[in-house]
Amino acid sequence: MHINLKHHQLSSFLAVAEEGSFSKAAQRLAVSQPALSRTIMMMEETIGARLFDRNTRNVSLTPVGEELRSMAKRVVQEIDSLSGELQRFVEGRRGRITVAALPSVAAILLPTAIARFAATAPEVDIHIRDGLSQRVLGAVEAGDADVGITVRSPSKGRLLHQPLCSDEFGLVCRADDPLAQCESVAWSVFGHRPFIAMASDSSVRVATDAALLQAGLQVSPLYECSFLGTVGHLVAAGLGLSALPRLTCPLTGAGNLVWRRLEAPVVERKIGTVIRADRTSSPATLRFLAVLREVGKELETLAAFR
């Protein structure tokens, strides 16, 4: 015989066992006493044995009731625990998020976003995978990452891009360079000054190459670097100039540099999130995306007033 008891039946049974009274248990459960009595009677019919000995004054457990009590406690506690975990997951306060991001973007956006998110959702584990743009897109496409953070790219298959912020390109030079006295500089400056560029496979390089082409310039970089810190220190040593998005400047690691707006043309990179359009994101992922949007807006506003 298979005994099938429901959670609310076991909870009702435990309330009567703990209170030693049907009336007190009914008050605790906020149900009528007749309804509680029917629940216990249905349990006894399902089990095929009495659970309580009743008289006008006392309610006591039978041997079967005693045996059921320890079992019921374990089951109810386990179900309550599972229900709590599921509720926290549905609310986005529990789970796991894997974020793939461009290294520069990860360093700019993620620390603030993760700290803010963790303050309200400490049970969510966040894993970071940084890499170049195509690796970020590939990780999201393959399902290895829940969220990608990269520059805006043409729509690709099942990927959905949502904007976070814009990041304008500018000249990076030493603070004692005459160009530092200008409010803005034309891209043509790289036609007669050494150009220190990011590596050819970086999203920053793609944008600078497009800008130079639009300006009608053919520029061969003096140095090509994979890391922003290398670019920054080469410029700081007086070996040339560079063009970088404004938000990346703190990552150059050099204190004697300034950023000046580049014109003719004005170039911006659009930073955004990428998710799979054909998959339902977890509640935690949706909450994290909302935090990322907040941080993106704040960074964009801060850059506008620098």
| pLDDT tens digits, 177-218 | 999 999 999 999 999 999 999 999 888 999 999 999 999 999
Residue 156 falls inside a structural domain: no
**CA nearest neighbour of 102 among 144, 137, 146:** 137
Instruction: Copy the structure tokens of residue 196.
Output: 């220190």
Judgement on whether residues 249 and 176 belong to the same structural domain of the protein: yes
Partnered with residue 125 across adjacent β-strands are 96
CA-to-CA separations, 179 to 67, 238, 293, in angstroms, rounded: 86, 13, 34
CA-to-CA separations, 59 to 16, 68, 111, 115, 167, in angstroms, rounded: 8, 16, 59, 54, 73
C-alpha 20: how far from chain center? 49
| Domain boundary pick from 90, 109, 136 | 90
Q: Residue 197: which residues within 8 A CB-CB, separation 6 or more? A: 205, 208, 221, 223, 224, 225, 231, 242, 243
Judgement on whether residues 192 and 108 belong to the same structural domain of the protein: no
Kindly report the CATH number assigned to the domain that includes residue 46: 1.10.10.10
Provide the sign of the torsion angle of the four alpha carbons 230, 231, 233, 237, taken in this order. positive
Judgement on whether residues 99 and 245 belong to the same structural domain of the protein: no
Judgement on whether residues 170 and 265 belong to the same structural domain of the protein: yes
Residue 152 falls inside a structural domain: no
* Count of all residues that appear for the chain in the document: 306
Considering just the CA atoms, what is the radius of gyration of the chain in Å? 32
Tell me if 293 sits within 8 A of 151, measured CB to CB. no
Tell me if 46 sits within 8 A of 13, measured CB to CB. no
Query: Model-level pTM greater than 0.75?
Result: no
Tens digits of residue pLDDT in 133-142: 889 999 999 9
Helix 103-120 vs helix 283-304: crossing angle, to nearest 10 = 120
Judgement on whether residues 187 and 261 belong to the same structural domain of the protein: yes
What is the identity of the amino acid at 64? Answer: V
Kindly report the CATH number assigned to the domain that includes residue 120: 3.40.190.10
Judgement on whether residues 178 and 212 belong to the same structural domain of the protein: yes
Helices and strands (H and E) in the chain: how many: 9, 12
Tell me if 235 sits within 8 A of 158, measured CB to CB. no
Residue 224 falls inside a structural domain: yes
Per-residue pLDDT band for 303 (boundaries 50, 70, 90) equals low
Tens digits of residue pLDDT in 88-98: 888 888 999 99
Mean pLDDT of 295-300: 86
| Domain boundary pick from 71, 90, 109 | 90
Judgement on whether residues 260 and 205 belong to the same structural domain of the protein: yes
Tens digits of residue pLDDT in 106-149: 888 899 999 999 999 999 999 999 888 889 999 999 999 999 99
**Helix/strand/coil for 89:** helix
pLDDT, averaged across the chain: 90
Domain count, the chain: 3
Residue 153 falls inside a structural domain: no
Judgement on whether residues 15 and 64 belong to the same structural domain of the protein: yes
CA-to-CA separations, 19 to 11, 44, 90, in angstroms, rounded: 12, 19, 34
User: Distance between CA atoms of 212 and 273, rounded to whole angstroms?
Assistant: 27
Tens digits of residue pLDDT in 62-98: 999 999 999 999 999 888 888 888 888 888 889 999 9
Tens digits of residue pLDDT in 174-188: 999 999 999 999 999
Residue 2 falls inside a structural domain: no
Whether the pLDDT of residue 56 is over 80: the answer is no
User: Distance between CA atoms of 34 and 47, rounded to whole angstroms?
Assistant: 20
Tell me if 145 sits within 8 A of 129, measured CB to CB. yes
Using the 8-state DSSP alphabet, how is residue 31 labeled?
Answer: S
Which domain does 293 fall in, by range?
Answer: 94-147+278-304
Instruction: Copy the structure tokens of residue 8.
Output: 């609310």
Residue 26 falls inside a structural domain: yes
Per-residue pLDDT band for 260 (boundaries 50, 70, 90) equals very high
Judgement on whether residues 104 and 131 belong to the same structural domain of the protein: yes
Using the 8-state DSSP alphabet, how is residue 178 labeled?
Answer: G
Partnered with residue 260 across adjacent β-strands are 171
